[in-house]
Amino acid sequence: MASHYEAPIRKPLIIGEKSYHDISVDVAAPVEGKANKLWWIVFSISLSAFLWGLGCIFYTVGTGIGVWGLNKTVGWAWDITNFVWWVGIGHAGTLISAVLLLFRQKWRMGINRSAEAMTIFSVMQAGLFPLIHMGRLWNANWVLPIPNQFGSLWVNFNSPLLWDVFAISTYLSVSLVFWWTGLLPDFAMLRDRAIKPFQKKIYSLLSFGWSGRVKDWNRFEEVSLVLAGLATPLVLSVHTIVSFDFATSVIPGWHTTIFPPYFVAGAIFSGFAMVNTLLIIMRKVSNLEAYITVQHIELMNIVIMITGSIVGVAYITELFIAWYSGVEYEQYAFLNRATGPYWWAYLLMMSCNVFSPQFMWSKRLRTSIMFSFIISIVVNVGMWFERFVIIVTSLHRDYLPSSWTMFSPTFVDIGIFIGTIGFFFVLFLLYARTFPVIAQAEVKTILKSSGENFKKLRDGNEH
Amino acid sequence: METSTKKIHALYNDDDVLLHAIKDIRKKEYKIDEVFTPFPVHGLEKALGVPHTRLAYAAFFYGIIGLSFAIWMMNYIMIEDWPQNIGGKPNFSYFQNMPAFVPVMFEMTVFFAAHLMVITFYFRSRLWPFKDAENPDPRTTDDMFLVELSSDGNEKEIEEFLKKTGAVEIKLIEN
């Protein structure tokens, strides 16, 4: 037991009298059981939203981008807002599984699997928007440097939009293999428990024949560590490059050097909020309260509070620098942002992103599950509006007052956005029913150090 | 080969007992062929004398390959094959235009290092779709730890010894 020592001051991460076998049973239960009525209801709603969005996508591609609310002045609006919003949400998964692994934070183990699933599903939603915006989806391969018959028609490596292609595709694919490698031992557990031949076949296929030899585990841990080391700068680079899409332009309100750290903080902020939204529901529905504890929620709330405050500092810095620069175009862009016709969006952004996370200073509020859930929704609304404010308010009053205008979305803009929310939940709900939603092999490694019963046993012995 | 060679499967239900048992078995110089565990038991590879994996070094070289490929590709595309005037950026020299190429150089480094390392891991550990699992007992992915030993005629002796080390179940497997 001595090798499993953990300071008594640390609260247990696994609640109750659990054994290794109990962990397998608890993680396998949602997969082996039947879906209840509520799951089917939520799934049907999500699927309908997804199909509606798919219809809107077909309509856009069939008719043209003109069906969106874009105009001559505001050439970028909901599409890029949604893109940045979804990419940002994705960041929490990598932060939890990679950065917290490097810092040896054990509390990541209860939530990393679902957070990574969220990453992959939300980056998939994000990727849809640039693809649709191309108009001719079937030519999407033109963004890659592939030798072609159009003379020497190459892509432009000076363009931040192309950097984004590389960043997002690297991010999506590396996150996917990171996730899948971690899943192998857990799929193997489900495979070896499966009684129905079809289930056994499926999980056998998914587990790649994982057997759990000593050498396999040795490589597994090394690969996880190196992938975490690679994914950490990768995730920071992704939102940095997303911010370059704006920061390297010459639009007042966009070309600010503060964008990379400001966007990364915002991404972590909204991503942790989404993890909270999803896991507060999942821990209840899948009976995983022993593994995703109130302490997990509290720690995520603290991250939300800190990153929310960083975002707040960034907002204020932007305003200050706009004034301090002495450039009247820059000054007007920010004055217009806060007091112009989109003042309500700015106010919503400020109150949701800077004001609301400050409640988390209170221990009572940040350990309240209901309150955490509400704040997690509020934060994601706020972060959507942040991107909307940055993008639309910087564009809608451009250099020529005669072309000043407003942006209003059409039903197609709204439909595609709702469709991606539906698609995201369709994927997540299917995942919650078929995948081991907790990295059970990893959780078993901390049972003796951080399990409630083992901690009690050890504390009892010491006195 | 020897006809009397038999496999012995000893099952343990605790990782700490397993670690002590492995040390004792090694002291007795019985031959351990393989150990199957449901999760990574820290210190196990050391106790078994299994050398540490070199995958991290491989990843480093894969990263260098990715970086070199990115530099070669962008130099060919942007400087050699079809230089264009893009915002007046220097199109005659890779080095002078490099700030614009850093993001892709970084992404390609990560892309190559991550994917080639994982592919190497899958091949070295023989993991791929449609591969059959090789753990002898399905409980080894749940809560049991299995030590596979081979004997040459002294099964009885080994069995007695394994019981003393805390094995909860011992099976003789005829080859």
How does pLDDT run across A396-434, given as a tens digit for each residue?
998 899 999 999 999 999 999 999 999 999 999 999 999
When CB atoms are compared, the residue of B16, B82, B101 closest to A152 is B82
Record: contact B121-A213, CB cut-off 8 A:
no
When CB atoms are compared, the residue of B101, B133, B141 closest to A157 is B101
Q: What is the ipTM of this complex?
A: 0.93
Q: Which residue of B has its CA nearest to A226?
A: B56
User: Model pTM?
Assistant: 0.93
Q: How confident is the model at residue B1 (pLDDT cuts 50, 70, 90)?
A: very low
Mutate which: B61, B110, B115, B147, vs A, most A CBs within 10 A = B110
A-B contacts (CB, under 8 Å): 202
Record: contact B142-A189, CB cut-off 8 A:
yes
pLDDT score of A136:
87
**Cα–Cα–Cα angle for A205, A206, A210, rounded to 5 degrees:** 85
| Partner B, chain A 208-237, Cβ-Cβ below 8 Å | 208-223, 225-227, 230-231, 233-234, 237
Residues in B closer than 8 angstroms to A214, CB to CB, are 34-35, 37, 44-45, 48, 50
Query: Would you list the domain boundaries of chain A?
Result: 2-143+243-456
Residues with Cβ < 8 Å from A196, sequence gap 6 or more? none
pLDDT score of B30:
86
Q: Give one DSSP letter per residue of A60-119, joined into a string.
A: HHHH-GGGSS--SS--SSHHHHHHHHHHHHHHHHHIIIIIHHHTT-GGGGGTHHHHHHHH
Distance from the Cα of A212 to chain B's closest Cα (Å) equals 5
Dihedral of CA atoms A121, A165, A173, B68 in degrees, nearest 10, equals -160
Q: Does A162 touch chain B (CB under 8 A)?
A: yes
Record: contact B82-A241, CB cut-off 8 A:
no
Helices (H), A17-77: 20-32, 37-63
pLDDT beneath 70, residues of chain A: 1-3, 462-463
Q: Mind listing the pLDDT tens digit for each residue in A1-58?
A: 556 888 888 888 998 889 999 999 999 999 988 888 889 999 999 999 999 999 999 9
Backbone angles phi, psi at A94, to 5 degrees: -70, -40
Q: Does A450 touch chain B (CB under 8 A)?
A: no
Instruction: For residue A292, give Cα distances in angstroms to A110, A128, A279, A296, A384.
Output: 6, 31, 8, 6, 27
Q: What are A88's two structure tokens?
A: 């940002």
Mutate which: A106, A207, A219, vs B, most B CBs within 10 A = A219
